[in-house]
Amino acid sequence: MQTFPSGQLKRLLFVLNPISGDINKSQLRATITAYCAERGRRAEFFDTTGDQDIIRLRTLLATDSPLDAVFAAGGDGTVSLVAEALAGSTVPLGILPLGSGNGMAKDLAIPLTLNEALGLIWQHDIRQLDTLRVGGRFTVHLADMGFNACVVQRFAEGGVRGPGAYVRIATREYAGYQPATYQIETDNGTWQGKAFMLTIANANTFGSNVVINPGRALDDGEFEICLIAPFPGIAVPGLLYRLYTSNFDDSDYTQRLSCHRARITVAGARQVLVQLDGEPYMLPCPVEISLQPCSLRVLVPPATAGARLPRP
């Protein structure tokens, strides 16, 4: 892990997603503005609308005067949007975890309460993370094909947010789901067969607290392809137990491939549904995956605690 000393962050942009999670955000702008003003900081805002957000955000970053940090206030999709806009620059990403799962924040040990996450403005390290390109699209956390991608698509189409809605959809979809056949070519070997789910993991943990890739890091210079083979219903309790207790490798139905680049083909498909950082996309098949090492700077809790945060 590479970290760098904290510095003074004075001019801050907050990217707000009004519909992430199941949290009422009606007072969020006022809360952040007051919190920063009381401590001598200037807060500015950018609202996502779902229409050309990455273009509008990049335009703002390119034409405006320099910012000291940009905070993503939302879930993993909002984090990925801001990360894509900042990748390759010196401006660090901050995360205010206000989504349904907040998997990226959990993997980076970022506090899950608003005030504590805002505290990273004053007390932080800067960590340089790897990012991925999956089928030409940016991703920083987790991507997958198969069962979870189907659930994420149904979740995105529905009008209800939050973990409860995700569980209901997953339970409904499981009964009729048919695993696909994949061919995987990597710089470390090949694999072919059926998979219930295939995860392209730059990180460890889904927002649901499922640990799909234990023991690896967002800055280790590799990514993993984590495979779950088709399994009988009787195996579900044991498999879920292993996924929730960081024991992914202890199942007869799991396998991991570590690599720097990969090519994934789905038998009989011209396009494949892929979940990227919580958002579903149809991508051309085969899907090419490549790693961009140390391409994103992120504010994380300091390795050594003890500094006192400013008070109003």
pLDDT, one tens digit per residue, over 117-159 is 999 998 899 999 999 999 999 999 999 999 999 988 887 777 6
72-102 tens-digit pLDDT? 999 888 999 999 999 999 999 999 998 878 9
* Cβ-based neighbours of 286, under 8 Å, separated by 6 or more: 263, 264, 265, 266
User: Which domains can be identified in the chain, with CATH numbers?
Assistant: 3-129+295-300 (3.40.50.10330), 137-294 (2.60.200.40)
| Nearest C-alpha neighbor of 195 from the set 170, 225, 173, 228 | 228
Q: How far apart are CA 72 and CA 74, in angstroms?
A: 6
Q: How far apart are CA 17 and CA 93, in angstroms?
A: 15
| Nearest C-alpha neighbor of 53 from the set 289, 279, 293, 291 | 279
Between vectors from CA 154 to CA 228 and to CA 232, what angle results, nearest 5°? 30
| Nearest C-alpha neighbor of 295 from the set 98, 139, 67, 181 | 139
Contact 274, 287 (CB under 8 A): yes
218-265 tens-digit pLDDT? 999 999 999 999 999 999 999 999 999 999 999 999 999 999 999 999
Contact 229, 235 (CB under 8 A): no
Query: Taking the complete model, does pTM exceed 0.85, yes or no?
Result: yes
Q: How far apart are CA 54 and CA 50, in angstroms?
A: 9
110: its two tokens? 């970022």
What residue type is 130 in one-letter code? Answer: D
202: its two tokens? 């730059």
287: its two tokens? 């899907």
Contact 193, 229 (CB under 8 A): yes
Residue 8 — very low, low, confident or very high, per pLDDT cuts 50/70/90? confident
Residue 25 — very low, low, confident or very high, per pLDDT cuts 50/70/90? low
The pLDDT score that the predictor gives to residue 312 is 45
